[in-house]
């Protein structure tokens, strides 16, 4: 029997007693009782607590609690409590910051000025990208209307590489045309057509058109680089891929109007995709010629004045140069020029001929000669057929 325990109840199994003050100071619980188990040698164990208001019949179901606290135990509890409180405060700060971010103007979808509102709404929310999800990296191209950057788009906890065309809002007309062309791309779905990812409108960066990032750049730059040296077989393969893409566009009654190697892109696997649709013509500004005002006579005898315009005149059919008429047939003419570019490895069509003389040159029946390494059958059965007066 311990001197620190004053018995007050005894059964065959349990001895209940009250603690002395010296023991109570160690337990830090003035209402605590000590359970003493009687073994074969009448030994006892101290350290499990029951409360005075418990009855003997309920002791078998009591979960006893150890109360022998040491200095290190108290220090550990204090540290754990502090960490818990700090974690809760940190979590609360994050929640408040997210609430502020989502409710502030920075998170809300940026909208264009009123004069672009119609074409912006026509895009639909699926293609309206929040600029806060776009991360712009290094510049990979530039032109008179805008710059092209490599970037990342955050989508559903993942990021994808994108090419970001950032426009400078020089005039309403060019910007509206840019958004209109982007709007036309949103429904394209073909392995040889560059599809639209979306359009973002950031007041500090103007309009941003997001396209899949093409690791190997445009087709013209690739084939003209002597380091790449593509084979004739590879050049013809790209020609076939472009033909497949143009066949898809023609099935949608879509006229490209600017088919050329500069407007075809190569992905990481060197697969060719038709792009542009008016979105990169400023990058190759030298390929576009300002055609002066002209007058053309329609079939009904009415004369129509065509205002000055910038055209890729070396890739256009005669009727497109003369009257600004663009059809699937005029795209066929441009495809023949593209084949010539491929087999000449990126040379500019009609070398040595001034832009002002191209129309007269073609109208009089002159055609580009066969490239040096072009298979004769390809030149006769494809290129010349594309350049027929009535293709």
Beta bridge partners of 139: 149
Beta bridge partners of 51: 32
How many angstroms separate the CA atoms of 197 and 212, rounded? 7
What's the 3-state SS for 272-302? EEECCCCCCCCCCHHHCEEECCEEEECCCCC
Residue-wise over 40-71: b if at least 16 C-beta within 10 A, else e? eeeeeebebbbeeeeeeeeeeeeeeeeeeeee
* CB 181, CB 278: distance < 8 Å: yes
| Binding-site entries for ATP | 165, 262
DSSP line for 17-49: EEEPHHHHHHHT-TTEEEEEE--TT------EE
Structural domains in the chain? 5-68 (no CATH), 109-213 (3.30.200.20), 217-391 (1.10.510.10)
Burial class of 195 by CB neighbour count within 10 A (0 to 12, 13 to 18, 19+) = middle
How many angstroms separate the CA atoms of 206 and 212, rounded? 20
Q: What angle do CA 217, 235, 369 make, to 5 degrees?
A: 115
As given in the structure block, the two tokens for residue 387 are 């350049």
How many angstroms separate the CA atoms of 353 and 366, rounded? 12
DSSP H helical ranges for the chain: 21-27, 71-103, 117-123, 172-185, 219-224, 232-251, 318-323, 328-343, 358-363, 376-378, 384-386
| Binding-site entries for Mg(2+) | 263, 276
| Binding-site entries | 165, 262-263, 276
pLDDT of residue 73: 72
Cβ neighbours of 27 (radius 10 Å): 18
As given in the structure block, the two tokens for residue 78 are 């204090």
For the chain, which ranges sit under pLDDT 50? 1-2, 30-31, 39, 42-69, 101-108, 279-285, 291, 295, 297
pLDDT of residue 187: 82
Which strand (E) or helix (H) includes residue 304?
A: strand 303-306
pLDDT of residue 91: 87
How many angstroms separate the CA atoms of 333 and 259, rounded? 9
pLDDT of residue 284: 46
DSSP H helical ranges for 104-202: 117-123, 172-185
> SS3 for 370?
coil
pLDDT of residue 250: 92
Q: Which residue is it, tokens 């697969």?
A: 271
pLDDT of residue 346: 95
Beta bridge partners of 15: 10, 36
* CB 191, CB 270: distance < 8 Å: no
How many angstroms separate the CA atoms of 241 and 335, rounded? 12
Task: Tally the residues of the chain.
Answer: 391
How many angstroms separate the CA atoms of 134 and 152, rounded? 6
pLDDT of residue 94: 83
pLDDT of residue 105: 42
Active site residues: 258
pLDDT of residue 58: 41
pLDDT of residue 335: 98
Cβ neighbours of 276 (radius 10 Å): 22
As given in the structure block, the two tokens for residue 264 are 């075809």
pLDDT of residue 110: 58
Beta bridge partners of 309: 291
What is the layout of strands, in order, in the sheet containing 198-202? 128-129, 198-202, 206-212, 158-167, 146-155, 134-142
């Amino acid at each position: 029997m311990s001197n620190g325990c004053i018995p007050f109840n005894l059964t065959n199994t349990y001895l209940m007693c009250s603690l002395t003050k010296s023991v109570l100071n160690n337990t830090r619980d003035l209402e605590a009782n000590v359970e003493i188990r009687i073994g074969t040698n009448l030994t006892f164990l101290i350290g499990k607590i029951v409360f005075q208001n418990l009855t003997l019949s309920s002791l078998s179901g009591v979960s006893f609690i150890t109360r022998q606290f040491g200095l290190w135990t108290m220090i550990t509890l204090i540290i754990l409590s502090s960490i818990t409180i700090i974690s809760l405060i940190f979590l609360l700060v994050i929640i408040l910051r997210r609430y502020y971010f989502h409710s502030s103007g920075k998170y809300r979808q940026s909208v264009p000025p009123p004069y672009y509102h119609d074409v912006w709404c026509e895009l639909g929310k699926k293609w309206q990208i929040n600029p806060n999800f776009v991360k712009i990296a290094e510049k990979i191209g530039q032109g008179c209307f805008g710059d092209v950057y490599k970037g990342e788009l955050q989508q559903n906890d993942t990021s994808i590489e994108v090419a970001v065309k950032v426009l400078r809002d020089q005039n309403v007309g060019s910007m509206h045309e840019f958004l209109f062309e982007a709007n036309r791309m949103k429904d394209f779905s073909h392995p040889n057509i560059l599809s639209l990812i979306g359009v973002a409108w950031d007041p500090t960066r103007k309009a941003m058109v997001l396209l899949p990032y093409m690791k190997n750049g445009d087709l013209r730059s690739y084939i003209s680089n002597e380091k790449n040296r593509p084979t004739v077989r590879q050049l013809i393969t790209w020609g076939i891929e472009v033909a497949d893409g143009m066949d898809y566009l023609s099935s949608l009654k879509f006229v490209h109007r600017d088919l050329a190697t500069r407007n075809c892109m190569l992905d990481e696997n060197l697969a060719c995709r038709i792009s542009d649709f008016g979105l990169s013509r400023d990058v190759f500004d030298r390929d576009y010629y300002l055609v002066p005002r002209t007058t053309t006579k329609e079939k009904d005898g009415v004369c129509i004045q065509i205002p000055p315009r910038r055209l890729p005149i070396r890739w256009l059919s005669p009727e497109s140069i003369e009257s600004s008429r663009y059809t699937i047939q005029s795209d066929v003419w441009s495809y023949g020029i593209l084949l010539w570019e491929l087999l000449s490895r990126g040379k500019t069509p009609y070398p040595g001929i001034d832009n002002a003389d191209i129309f007269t040159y073609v109208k009089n029946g002159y055609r580009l000669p066969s490239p040096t390494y072009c298979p004769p059958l390809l030149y006769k059965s494809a290129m010349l057929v594309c350049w027929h007066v009535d293709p």
